[in-house]
Amino acid sequence: MEKPGIILGVNVDHVATLRQARGGAEPDPLMGATLAILGGADGITVHLREDRRHINDRDLRLMRELVTGVELNLEMAPVGEMVEIAISTKPEMSTLVPEKRRELTTEGGLDVKGEFKRLSEAVKKLKGAGIDVSLFIAPDERSVEWAAKAGAQMVELHTGYYANADRKGMQKELERVRSAIDMARGAGLLVNAGHGLNYSNVHQVAALPGLRGLYIGHSIVARAVLSGMKEAVSAMKSLITEARG
């Protein structure tokens, strides 16, 4: 049986991480987004963090101007400042994530029940501004149930548990994702998945029925750095050789 298509949202945060390592202008995540779109990305994701450690306000503003033919997904904490920024930027969608200052990356899914009031208020404001909302949650029944109550149109199931599991655990984690997809769809939600997906583990997740989209960042940026290395060195070598006559 043929499966319907699935979208790929490319997270370009780590292009900006590399830029921030020198505090200069390159590589520019806008250029990263342009090339990602040329490569077939169906959407671009940026996570504007409270500490602006990679993507900053200028990036988001220009990204909104640049990304028009595909969806712009603003990943953010459900806090007042970000909700205001989202409303004035108007991305097609916003993915709400928990955010801890010292974490290296988003560590877990949202505690939707525990933070229900804050989340449902953020969802309401964003939806009121015409922005579709997705909640990043663990693939479990309780999270799905509360996400549906919070009024979001979508969830993104956290695939980090699957990605980080050992060989034996992976199948179990994949099953958790599979049944969370069914539950979420049963509750009327559109279902995405992401986090920790890479060139070796994406296949099994991409093959799951019922998924709307996959959101992938680090592994794509890591691959891009290496696949471009030969050409980058060769261009530099030519310049140097030319200068020596």
Stretch that binds ligand PXP, among 30-38, 78-86, 166-174, 190-198 (CB under 6 A): 190-198
Which helix (H) or strand (E) element contains residue 71? strand 71-76
Q: How many C-beta atoms surround the C-beta of residue 105 within 10 A?
A: 13
Crossing angle of helices 57-66 and 80-89, rounded to 10° = 30
Q: Which of residues 213-232 bind ligand PXP (CB under 6 A)?
A: 215-219
Q: Is residue 73 close enough to count as binding ligand PXP by CB under 6 A?
A: no
User: Closer CB to ligand PXP, residue 200 or residue 241?
Assistant: 200
Q: Is 75 a catalytic residue?
A: yes
Q: Is residue 156 close enough to count as binding ligand PXP by CB under 6 A?
A: yes
Among 19, 54, 195, 212, binds ligand PXP (CB under 6 A): 195
Q: Is residue 196 close enough to count as binding ligand PXP by CB under 6 A?
A: yes
Q: Is residue 94 close enough to count as binding ligand PXP by CB under 6 A?
A: no
Q: Is 195 a catalytic residue?
A: yes
Q: Is residue 164 close enough to count as binding ligand PXP by CB under 6 A?
A: no
State the catalytic residue, choosing from 14, 47, 54, 158. 47
d(CA 128, CA 143): 23
Cβ distance 196 to 162 under 8 Å? yes
Cβ 95 to ligand PXP, closest distance in Å?
Answer: 5
Closest alpha carbon to 6 in 35, 38, 46, 41: 41
Number of residues that bind ligand PXP (CB under 6 A): 19
Cβ 2 to ligand PXP, closest distance in Å?
Answer: 27
User: Closer CB to ligand PXP, residue 197 or residue 211?
Assistant: 197
Q: Which residues contact 175 (CB under 8 A, 6 or more apart)?
A: none
Largest CA distance in the chain: 70
User: Closer CB to ligand PXP, residue 20 or residue 241?
Assistant: 20
Q: Which residues contact 111 (CB under 8 A, 6 or more apart)?
A: 98
Cβ 162 to ligand PXP, closest distance in Å?
Answer: 12
d(CA 44, CA 123): 21
Q: Is 14 a catalytic residue?
A: no
Provide Rg for the chain, Cα atoms: 19
Cβ distance 36 to 236 under 8 Å? no
Q: Which residues contact 235 (CB under 8 A, 6 or more apart)?
A: none
Q: Is residue 146 close enough to count as binding ligand PXP by CB under 6 A?
A: no
State the catalytic residue, choosing from 14, 71, 75, 173. 75
Give the tokens for residue 104: 């290296």
User: Closer CB to ligand PXP, residue 48 or residue 240?
Assistant: 48
Chain residues that interact with ligand PXP, rule: CB under 6 A: 11, 13, 47, 75, 95, 97, 105-106, 136, 156, 194-197, 215-219
